[in-house]
Chains A and B, each alone.
Chain A
Amino acid sequence: MDNIILSVEGYAKQFYLYSRQRLIPSAAQVNLTVRAGQLTALIGPTGAGKSSVLKGIYRTYLPSAGRMIYSDAQGHNVDLALAGEHRILELRQREIGFVTQFLHCLPRQPALDVVAEPLLARGVTREAARKQAAELLECLAVPQRLWGVPPATFSGGEKQRVNLARGLIARPRLLLLDEPTASLDTATTEHVITLIQEMKQDGIGMLAIFHHPALVDRLADAVVELSPPAMTDEPIENIA
């Protein structure tokens, strides 16, 4: 078995801005694979479309071209570019996780519940979910006095760790990571590296963007380099 869980072929994304009547290319000709238990790193300069690829896979962006074949837990193949909205929501809940650069969460919710949320959505009891959330926050060195406080007032690094804990708690099969260590100090970054290595051992496949080349060297099993897409006035043939 080749244990490939995600295979992206010819992904491209361009935006059409009606107010400017302009096409904005965001990514072009992206090919990559992610294997179970391995980490594929996306590298390239700013504007090369690294985040665009992650958002396309998560379907926050509608891909303009390409196929993104995901092999689900039952072994069925689904093209994420074309899958129905309910199917995507289901995969997001059960199989595909996304740790974004910034923490988007409900205001007013204590950090512990923010982290526990993905487990609650899967039907885990509140008590069990909070217990796991506490373990993870502990592991990421988020001070216990902050657990009961909404993350809105946290520092960048603390928010980042809450965000990471929430992405990791549900142990998705495929995890998308967008600069998960961008605002962390060295000690916490080491914690995160350990966690990512553990998750690889658990068989979780990851597609990640890292700020530091050193992290790519330490964690990546495969590296995909992107270059910025050329400006164009020609719309890419739409797949939808």
Chain B
Amino acid sequence: MSRKILEVNNLTKIHGRGCPLCLESTGPEADTNICPHCGSVVAAHGVSFDLYQGEILGIIGESGSGKSTVVKTLYFDDAPSAGEAVFFDEDAQYDLYSLNAAQQRSLRNKRFGMVYQNPHLGLNFNVSAGGNIAERLLMSDVAHYGAIRERARSLLVRTEVLENRMDENPKKFSGGMQQRVQIAKALATRPPLLYLDEVTTGLDLSVQAAILDLILEIQHELGTAMIVVTHDLGVVRLLAGRTLVMKYGRVIETGLTDQILEDPQHAYTQRLVASAL
């Protein structure tokens, strides 16, 4: 049986001051994630799950369900209000939120990868495509120019970005191509854990398909564990073995992806599945 790579317990993120009534006044039953007493937004509360090596976990939900909040806190883009997450690396384990800033940065650069829906968050548009990958390699202590250039080139070839465009600024690339550069950048340090936040949203259908293919191929080749955040049931059907369903900051259902799609237990999931095209 493969090993656990991530264990998340009771992850909570509240934007705003918070008050003692926030948690009981929000969530799927209350039909809101905004506390009516203090106006704070309960973006996520009580999120717990395990992730195993090489596994793809899907998180589905509509806007405001808290699905992106989960990966953003795991990637240290955002600090959680409560809860813990333990990352099990090859020979060590890290309690993510008791690490100092430098330790968090190091894990983020070397052991985690993130691909955002918006390429502006994941890419530096002041340097070339190759330069973007080089940045990440430099931050993880690879310093030889030739080695960096060779690795950047092979990553871009792997993600099917034309090699001769390596020195161009990604600003000039199409949306699909920018996502490929982001994926190449995220993979640069061969991280065992990758977060994908709505990576195909807003792309042409044919481009979406090619990006999803690429993600699956990478998972097969490298055995990378992934958390895939999406509002698209087709994406989890294609990629994820297990899926969490979120609404108003809470996990309302979790199960094997085929079971979630064919035998959803929660009223909201039943509606979601029934309304899919």
Contacts and interface: CB of A to CB of B under 8 A. Distances in A.
Interface of A: 15, 17-19, 55, 59-62, 85-90, 106-109, 120-121
16 contacts: A15-B263, A18-B270, A19-B270, A19-B271, A60-B256, A61-B259, A61-B263, A62-B263, A85-B242, A88-B256, A89-B55, A89-B241, A106-B216, A106-B238, A109-B213, A121-B220
A107 B274 CA distance: 22
B263 A17 contact: no
Contact of B263 (A60, A89, A90, A120): A60
A109 B214 CA distance: 12
Contacts of B265: 62
A115 to B, nearest CB: 15
Nearest to A55: B262
B209 interface: yes
B242 to A, nearest CB: 5
A61 B262 contact: yes
Contacts of A62: 255, 259, 263, 265
Interface in B218-273: 220, 238, 241-242, 255-256, 258-259, 262-263, 265, 267, 270-271
Interface in B183-213: 209, 213
Q: Which of B2, B55, B263, B274 has the most CB of A within 10 A?
A: B263
A60 B259 contact: yes
Interface of B: 1-2, 50, 52, 55, 209, 213, 216, 220, 238, 241-242, 255-256, 258-259, 262-263, 265, 267, 270-271, 274
A106 B237 CA distance: 10
Contact of B258 (A18, A60, A108): A60
A106 B219 CA distance: 14
Contacts of B238: 106
B28 to A, nearest CB: 13
A109 to B, nearest CB: 8
Nearest to B212: A106
Contacts of B255: 62, 85
A5 B52 CA distance: 27
Given A19-B270, A106-B213, A108-B209, A59 B259 contact: yes
A37 B169 CA distance: 61
A18 B263 CA distance: 12
Nearest to A18: B267
A62 B258 CA distance: 11
Nearest to A26: B263
Contacts of A55: 262-263
A94 B258 CA distance: 18
B274 A19 contact: yes
Nearest to B206: A108
Contacts of B258: 60
Nearest to A107: B209
A90 B1 contact: yes
A213 to B, nearest CB: 28
A61 B256 CA distance: 10
Contacts of A89: 55, 241-242, 256
A166 to B, nearest CB: 15
Nearest to A56: B263
